[in-house]
A and B are shown apart, each in its own frame.
Chain A
Amino acid sequence: MNSFVKAVGVGFISLGLWSSTALAEDSWWKTAAQPYQGATIRGISESTPASKYVEQVLGPKFTEETGIKVEFEATSWDQMYDKAIKDMEANTGIYDFVYIEQDIVYTYLARNFLVDITKSLADNAKIASPDFKPENFTTFLNYFKDPKSGNVMGVPMEAFIKPYLYRKDLFDDPAIQKAYKDATGADLKPATTHDEYAQIAKFFTEYGADKELWGTTVQASSSHPAAFYEFFESIAPTFGVYNWGIDGTTFAATEANGGQMNSAAAKKALNYWVGLLKYAPPESTSSTWDEVAGTFAAGRAAQGLVYGENAAWIATDESKSTVVGKVGVALPPVEAGVMETAESGKGYIGYYDGGAFGIPHSSKNKDASLLFLQYIGQASVQTDWALAGSRIVMNSTYEDPRIVDQDKKMNGYYTLMREDGKLFAGAPPFPFHAQVLQVVAPFIYKAIVGEIKPDDALDQAATAAEAELVKLGYRK
């Protein structure tokens, strides 16, 4: 009896301790969110795997813990920008948090669209979560800091590189290896140079003529900025042309004025890239990043440059991908000397993409939104998010056993990102990003459809870019 009483007593004490601990753990968000109970915050983002996780998992969990409702709109890239920018320009306050892609952050900062997160949390310590620590993030966070103050203006929600994906099953097939050797005299292995890449693309296009298989993906939509991005952010750097070929000091684009947009290297790059179209499936000229991922997942291309946000589902999700377990990952092929330049920190070999959530100045629920951004910026939510969206924004996430396990299934994509991420770079810090893009992109489209030659396209693009920069007042 005595022992029974003791056991019951210990049980109650344990239960009390457990519940008080649990309450203490839960109570910070509840307490901090108390003044905002019943509020609704609205956010908008590009529809990506990482965004969908926020919409379907993190948003509802935050609501459950805080009582603050999250309405999340995951839409197309174009619509996301259109709506978010119009909202911030007109100061309407429809959105309380917006997706800030790495390449647009400089425009948003220049136009004072964003709330200073560091300062806001310092000014209102009651809503500063002890679990939100900027130092936990990878260096990708630096893209979302105000260059003047160093303060955080956005909480990273996705980050990925654009690696070279190839069909490991095809590359490792002895019969195909022999056929390749017979056809080219070389061993079949992931390309490290552009010549090798084109040769492999040609081989697989011929090999796959009756198999709905082509040699490469090309993100060459003839009317969507995706083509501009693939060329200037993924292809041109591998030929040693950086920052879209625009000099960051003089804002010159033409070679005559010191720019690189129409340099010999840039022209070689565009000729190479447009030349790949003959080894790409027919949908390539209408492909943005989504269609490129779809093409690779459908098993229609032997290799390609594919945004890392899609790497996980392509490599592991059988409900969406036909190439699960068949995906190899490598660094993009480069011209001679480019890798060394990148390793020395003076150049880069591809695009380090991603985005953050920031709070528009026009938001009517800034404090509630600050809570949400901190909530998604906790280390504890990162692993499941990474598993769902192949995005890593915190150093600790790499160490998680589940991520290590997924990394193996993805042929070391995370390892590549961690160890060689430094070879990739985000978009140049241009506040005139959208303006120059809209001026230059049509020339790339014309080169894609063969309306003008690649050399002429870049000559005309560089001249038009400079004229636009003069009009905007950046170039004197």
Chain B
Amino acid sequence: MRQSNIGWLFLAPATLILLVVGFIPFIYILYVGFFDWNTNAVDPTLRWAGLQNYRSLVFDTTFLNSLARTLVFAFFVVVSELLLGYVLARALMADRLWVRQFFRTIHTLPIVVAPIAVGATWRLLCVPGFGIVPYYLKQWFGIDYNISTNAYHAFATAIIMDLWHWTPFVTLSLMAGLTALPKEPLEQAQIDGGNKLQIFWYVIVPMLKPVLLTTVFIRLMDALRSVDEIWMLTKGGPAEATRFIGLHIWINVFPKTDYGYGAAMSLLTLYVTIVLSWLLFVAMTGRKGDAQ
């Protein structure tokens, strides 16, 4: 009993911080979401709106498009990073790669770069007229690459930038998971005559599932709230082609000062994230409560 009290005492500072920076703001956003509140309105006070903000969201095509765009972006980056990360993890674990350590270090460097710097760097690389990417794409392949006029180019560049930045994280996670796998089941599968694909699908993937699940969740949640990199790269453009949901909410809350509507958007986005994560969890584990 005494030990239990001491345990709670040690947890108290972290709990208090979580309460202050997590729970209280959440309750506040929940509260504000029921009001019409814009400090630049004729009446800048909070006015009760009930569920009107949520009702408006259902018909707000800009919001819905932004949300859909974000989901597509998240799908592409998470799947691509998982595949690429696995391939790289296996490659970096191979004994024959004599420069393994060197490549491992180089490959990991993007993780330590701040997202804002990543976005700025990619913008310099890709800006039409001056960037080396459009220059060489034109010189070598005759491609008129322009992230400020072509929605597909901008969207694809946003995905590639995210892959460059975060694939190393997936690689490192999977390397840790692969390194920790017991050898016996793999050897047993080989003795039983399993080919490489069968061993991968029926032995490695199930054993790697906890690591995969954690990695996918982290990357999915990060991708759904991408703001800073995208802001620096395209500012959500051209037009609204890369205006992902985080950026859309930011624009509504800060420059537009539409706090009530912005709060409703945030909560709905949070809800979508939770539902998606739960669905993914169920799909990957085949059950509702346990990742094992």
- A: residues with CB less than 8 A from B are 81-82, 85-86, 89, 107, 110-111, 221-224, 281-286, 295, 300, 431-432, 434-435, 437-439, 442, 445-446, 448-451, 471-474
Q: Is the CB of A222 within 8 A of B39?
A: no
The verdict on B235 contacting chain A, using a C-beta distance below 8 Å, is yes
* Least distance between A83 CB and chain B CB atoms (Å): 10
Within the assembled complex, what's the spacing in Å between the Cα atoms of A222 and B9? 54
The verdict on B41 contacting chain A, using a C-beta distance below 8 Å, is yes
Within the assembled complex, what's the spacing in Å between the Cα atoms of A81 and B250? 13
Q: Is the CB of A431 within 8 A of B235?
A: no
Measured CB to CB, the nearest residue on chain B to A224 is B235
* Least distance between B52 CB and chain A CB atoms (Å): 11
- Considering the complex of A and B, which 6 residue pairs feature the smallest CB-CB distances, nearest first? A223-B237, A283-B129, A473-B42, A286-B148, A222-B238, A223-B235
Given contacts A111-B40, A223-B234, A449-B149, contact A438 B251 (CB under 8 A): yes
Q: Is the CB of A286 within 8 A of B128?
A: yes
Q: Is the CB of A434 within 8 A of B256?
A: yes
Measured CB to CB, the nearest residue on chain A to B146 is A282
Q: Which residues of A contact B134 (CB under 8 A)?
A: 282
Given contacts A222-B148, A222-B239, contact A472 B40 (CB under 8 A): yes
Q: Which residues of B contact A89 (CB under 8 A)?
A: 39
Measured CB to CB, the nearest residue on chain B to A439 is B256
Within the assembled complex, what's the spacing in Å between the Cα atoms of A361 and B261? 27
What is the predominant secondary structure among interface residues of chain A facing chain B?
A: helix
Within the assembled complex, what's the spacing in Å between the Cα atoms of A283 and B43? 42
Q: Is the CB of A222 within 8 A of B149?
A: yes
Within the assembled complex, what's the spacing in Å between the Cα atoms of A221 and B256? 20
16 contacts between A and B (CB under 8 A): A82-B255, A221-B148, A222-B149, A223-B239, A282-B129, A284-B129, A286-B148, A431-B40, A434-B256, A435-B257, A438-B256, A442-B240, A445-B239, A446-B239, A450-B149, A472-B40
Within the assembled complex, what's the spacing in Å between the Cα atoms of A362 and B42? 22
Q: Is the CB of B128 within 8 A of A285?
A: yes
The verdict on B133 contacting chain A, using a C-beta distance below 8 Å, is no
Residue from B44, B128, B151 in contact with A283 in the complex, judged by beta carbons closer than 8 Å: B128
* Least distance between A205 CB and chain B CB atoms (Å): 14
Measured CB to CB, the nearest residue on chain A to B258 is A435
Residue from A448, A449, A474 in contact with B42 in the complex, judged by beta carbons closer than 8 Å: A474
* Least distance between A320 CB and chain B CB atoms (Å): 15
Q: Is the CB of B129 within 8 A of A281?
A: yes
Given contacts A224-B235, A449-B239, contact A435 B127 (CB under 8 A): no
Within the assembled complex, what's the spacing in Å between the Cα atoms of A449 and B128? 14
Question: Chain B 124-135 against A: per-residue CB contact (8 Å), 1 yes, 0 no?
Answer: 000111100010
* Least distance between A223 CB and chain B CB atoms (Å): 2
Q: Which residues of A contact B128 (CB under 8 A)?
A: 282-283, 285-286
The verdict on B236 contacting chain A, using a C-beta distance below 8 Å, is yes
The verdict on B38 contacting chain A, using a C-beta distance below 8 Å, is yes
Q: Which residues of A contact B236 (CB under 8 A)?
A: 223
Q: Is the CB of B237 within 8 A of A434?
A: no
The verdict on B102 contacting chain A, using a C-beta distance below 8 Å, is no
The verdict on B141 contacting chain A, using a C-beta distance below 8 Å, is no
Within the assembled complex, what's the spacing in Å between the Cα atoms of A474 and B38? 12
The verdict on B8 contacting chain A, using a C-beta distance below 8 Å, is no
The verdict on B59 contacting chain A, using a C-beta distance below 8 Å, is no
